[in-house]
Amino acid sequence: MSSSYSSHKQQTLTLLRLLLRPVIRFCLKRGLKVQDISECVKLELAYSAGQELEKQSKKANASRISAMTGMHRRDIGRIDRGDYKLDENRDTLTRIITHWMTDPSFRTTARKPRVLSLSSGKSEFEALVKKAGTDLNPATILFELKRLQMVEETSRGLRLLAPNLIEKENKEEAYHIASEDMHGLITTVEHNTRANTDTPLHHLQTAFDSVRKRDIPELNRKLLEAGHKLHLQIRELIASYDQDTTPDPSYRGECTRVAFTSFTSTESNTPEGNKNADEE
C-alpha cells in the first residue's frame, strides 16, 4: 500500500469519526450497544451499496456488495431475506405540499395555500396530486396527509396545516428528514472543500455562546417566525427555476434537486447546564 493512499485513508477515517460523533452521541443517549450499532451499519451498507449499483445499472448481487463493503456474504444473504425497505411515501408527500405552496394554481392571491375542493370526480385535490407526478391514488395520499395531521378537512374543502409540521410522536418521519438534511450537509461540505470548486454552496452558521437561558423560549419563537419568512422567500426563488412549478417549454436538459435547509439548535455549554443562567 503506497504511503499516499495510506495517508488519504487515514484522513478519510478521521473525517468519518467526526461525522459519526453526533450519531454516536445519539446512540449513547438511548442506551444502544455496539451490537445494535453494528447491525444497523450492516443494514445501511447493504442498502446503500445496492442503491449505488442500481444507479450504475449494475446487478446488486451478494458478490458485488461484499466487494464494495467488506461484509460477509452470509450477512448480505440474511439481510436480503428480511424486509428492510424504507417508506418512500414521504417524498411523494413533499412534492405534493411543495406544489400546494408554490404553484399559483393552488394558492390564493396572497400567495397562501388555498383550501382545495374534495368533491368526487375532478376535484382540486385530485388535480394537485396529478400535477405532483405520482401514480398513487388521491384517496391514499389524503389518508396519509390526515394521518400525519398535515391537512384538515373542513366544510369548504381540504386545508393545509402548518407546512413544516412534524408530528412529535412520529419520530421515524422526523429522522427521515434529519437523515436527508445530514446527507445534504455532507455533500455541501464535500463540494466546498474540493480544490477545483468554482462556485461554493451556501453553508453558514451563526452562533452565540452566552445567550441568557431565561430568554431561550422567546428567542426560539422569534427564530421560528424569522425562519418561516426566510423559507417563504427561498421557496419563491427556487420555484421560479423549477421545471415542474414554472415550466420552460423550450428546455430539454436534465433537472436536479436543490434544497435549502436551516434549523435552530440550543444546548448548554456544560454537561450540567449553565448553572448561573438563572442566578440573577
**For 41-83, what is each residue's pLDDT tens digit?**
999 999 999 999 998 989 889 999 999 999 999 889 888 887 4
What pLDDT does residue 163 have?
55
CA quadruple 217, 223, 229, 230: dihedral, nearest 10: -160
* Section 13-30 average pLDDT: 91
What pLDDT does residue 275 have?
44
Please give the share of the chain, as a percent, with pLDDT higher than 90.
51
Report the C-alpha gap between 232 and 162 in whole angstroms.
13
What pLDDT does residue 219 have?
97
Higher pLDDT pick, 276 / 271: 271
* Section 201-210 average pLDDT: 94
pLDDT category of residue 151 using cuts at 50, 70 and 90: very high
What pLDDT does residue 268 have?
74
Is 233's pLDDT higher than 60? yes
Highest mean predicted confidence (pLDDT) among 86-100, 129-143, 181-195: 181-195
Higher pLDDT pick, 181 / 88: 181
* Section 205-217 average pLDDT: 95
Nearest to 134 by CA among 68, 75, 72, 90: 90
Summarised one tens digit per residue, pLDDT across range 234-255 is 999 999 999 999 999 999 999 9
Is 3's pLDDT higher than 50? yes
pLDDT category of residue 197 using cuts at 50, 70 and 90: confident
What pLDDT does residue 125 have?
93
What cell does 4 get? Answer: 499516499
Report the C-alpha gap between 124 and 141 in whole angstroms.
14
Higher pLDDT pick, 39 / 121: 39
What pLDDT does residue 162 have?
63
Report the C-alpha gap between 193 and 190 in whole angstroms.
5
Higher pLDDT pick, 15 / 35: 15
Mean pLDDT, the chain, rounded, equals 85
**HEC letters along the chain:** CCHHHHHHHHHHHHHHHHHHHHHHHHHHHCCCCHHHHHHHHHHHHHHHHHHHHHHCCCCCCHHHHHHHHCCCHHHHHHHHHCCCCCCCHHHHHHHHHHHHHHCHHHECCCCCECCECCCCCCCHHHHHHHHCCCCCCHHHHHHHHHHCCCEEECCCCEEECCCCCCCCCCHHHHHHHHHHHHHHHHHHHHHHCCCCCCCCCCCCCCCCCCCCHHHHHHHHHHHHHHHHHHHHHHHHHHHCCCCCCCCCCCCCCCCCCCCCCCCCCCCCCCCCCCCCCCCC
Q: What is the pTM of this model?
A: 0.66
Is 146's pLDDT higher than 60? yes
What pLDDT does residue 176 have?
83
Is 2's pLDDT higher than 70? no
Cα 142 to the center of its chain, rounded Å: 21
What pLDDT does residue 80 have?
85
What pLDDT does residue 269 have?
67
Report the C-alpha gap between 160 and 114 in whole angstroms.
8
